[in-house]
Amino acid sequence: MDLIATCALGLEELLEAELAALGVGETTRHRGAIGFRGGWTDVWRTNWRLRTANRVLVTLDSWPAEDGDALAAGAGKLVDQRTRAWDGLDCATLFQPHRTLALRASASASQIRDVRWVTLRVKDGLVDAQRREYGRRSSIDKKSPDLALRVWLHRDQATLLLDTSGEPLDRRGYRVQTTEAPVRENIAAACVLASRWDGRGPVVDPMCGSGTLLAEAASFQLGRAAGAIRRGWSFQRLPNYDEKRFRAISEEPATPPEAIAPGSKLELYGIDAEDSAVEAARANLTEARLADFATLARGDAFDFEPPASPGLLMLNPPYGERLEGSPEQWKRLGDLMKQRYRGWRAVVLAGDTNRGKHIGLKPSSRLPVRNGPLDARILVFDLY
Ligand SMILES: C[S@@+](CC[C@H](N)C(=O)[O-])C[C@H]1O[C@@H](n2cnc3c(N)ncnc32)[C@H](O)[C@@H]1O
């Protein structure tokens, strides 16, 4: 099967490396997505494990579609091919009319621009063919469908995909309380992976907000899967879902053992100036079953004395679009890093392209990413 894992813009290289670590063969890099080939066990494993992905999709079909009729005809033709199969799951089983469906579309560089029209015509094609084939049609359930379908119309070529994830994969399920400007879980995971931290030493986030960076560092260090506490995925509602086989996948180690230094012990420190943030971090780390590893307190990042042994410093300062900061504050942060965190690895999620340079230290790597609606940079420093 042709599979696609989607991600935030900028995370393609990290996602590709994650897929390689999962044993996926050849990959193709797109903007905000990585294509690869695999079967249903790959679908289950990638949904369970990938830290930087948004969704995992199966390509069902692709056809030229310059107008609405062509969109509908292509979709109908697919349903008509009852015996066509995707790694053993055949079309007749997938499109049984008792199964509810939802469709979402996107359109770019095509004659049809209205995504509602794309959705409508593909849906028409699918359900009309169901009526022809089975005398009944699926009902639409936008909230909780059995089949979550996506149509991408690009350059007048329609691609129909099956979304196997459902809720985006960054919704890990532990964030029960948020604060202002929380970082998405998959961007936080990208910070951990980009830092190339080997699990040694304490993790300190002195502006921890709701604790996302700490939670993602901990999940990596403990070898827990990204999906370990998530409630479910769309693939579990497909007729070929095999719980026993999925359980076996979920017992595999989720961080390559060689990525973590032997004997390393998890220790998390979270500080924030706001009581409400400390409270949110505590609630979230508790939900993530990480509270026993964490010391959380209200305080000023600039007063906090880190533990003596060096580890990973993680920082997501409030200098984004909404919480505008000044070059002086970045310089102050750079001074703090140099003075108190000598010997540490530091990863900074800087919300703005230019201000990070006022930190006054040369990053060992710099990764531009899209953090929701904002441009951001993941900067990694070795603090000698
Ligand atoms: C962008 S938010 C961090 C969000 C966090 N990464 C998350 O996922 O929720 C920045 C945080 O820094 C805190 N903060 C700002 N100045 C601080 C200071 N001097 N000391 C400690 N915390 C500070 C704010 O209260 C805010 O919670």
Q: Which domains does the chain possess?
A: 2-163 (3.30.2130.30), 185-225+232-252+263-382 (3.40.50.150)
- By 3-state DSSP, what share of the chain in percent is helix, strand and coil, each rounded to 5? 35, 25, 40
C-alpha 184/C-alpha 168 separation (Å) is: 11
- Residue 140 has what DSSP assignment? B
Q: Which residues of the chain have pLDDT under 50?
A: 321-324
Q: What is the pTM of this model?
A: 0.94
Please measure the distance between the N-terminal and C-terminal CA atoms of the chain and give it in whole angstroms: 48
Task: Indicate the top mutation candidate among 177, 207, 279 to test ligand 1's pocket, ranked by most ligand atoms within 8 A of CB.
Answer: 207
Centre of ligand 1 to C-alpha 272, Å, is: 6
Ligand 1 site, residue 281, Cβ cutoff 6 A:
no
Output the CA–CA distances (angstroms, integers) from residue 55 to 2, 94, 160, in the order listed.
14, 20, 15
Ligand 1 site, residue 105, Cβ cutoff 6 A:
no
Ligand 1 site, residue 186, Cβ cutoff 6 A:
no
Centre of ligand 1 to C-alpha 198, Å, is: 25
Ligand 1 site, residue 209, Cβ cutoff 6 A:
yes
Ligand 1 site, residue 318, Cβ cutoff 6 A:
yes
What pLDDT is stored for residue 322 in this prediction?
43
Q: Using an 8 Å Cβ cutoff, are 260 and 221 in contact? A: yes
What pLDDT is stored for residue 254 in this prediction?
85
Which atom of ligand 1 is nearest to 178's Cα? Answer: 9
Sign of the Cα torsion 245, 248, 249, 250 reads positive
Output the CA–CA distances (angstroms, integers) from residue 49 to 159, 169, 205, 220, 231, in the order listed.
26, 10, 24, 10, 14
pLDDT tens digits, 111-128: 999 999 999 999 999 999
The whole-chain average pLDDT of the chain stands at 94
What pLDDT is stored for residue 21 in this prediction?
93
Please report which helix (H) or strand (E) contains residue 189, including its range: helix 185-195
Ligand 1 site, residue 321, Cβ cutoff 6 A:
no
Dihedral of CA atoms 360, 361, 367, 370 in degrees, nearest 10, equals -30
Residue identified by tokens 């579609």 is 65
Q: Using an 8 Å Cβ cutoff, are 36 and 43 in contact? A: no
Count other Cβ atoms within 10 Å, centred on residue 292: 9
Tokens representing 309 are 């042994």
What pLDDT is stored for residue 14 in this prediction?
98
Q: Using an 8 Å Cβ cutoff, are 346 and 337 in contact? A: yes
What pLDDT is stored for residue 354 in this prediction?
67
Ligand 1 site, residue 284, Cβ cutoff 6 A:
no
Buried b (16+ CB within 10 A) or exposed e, 119-133: bbbbbbbbbbbbeeb
Please report which helix (H) or strand (E) contains residue 15, including its range: helix 12-21
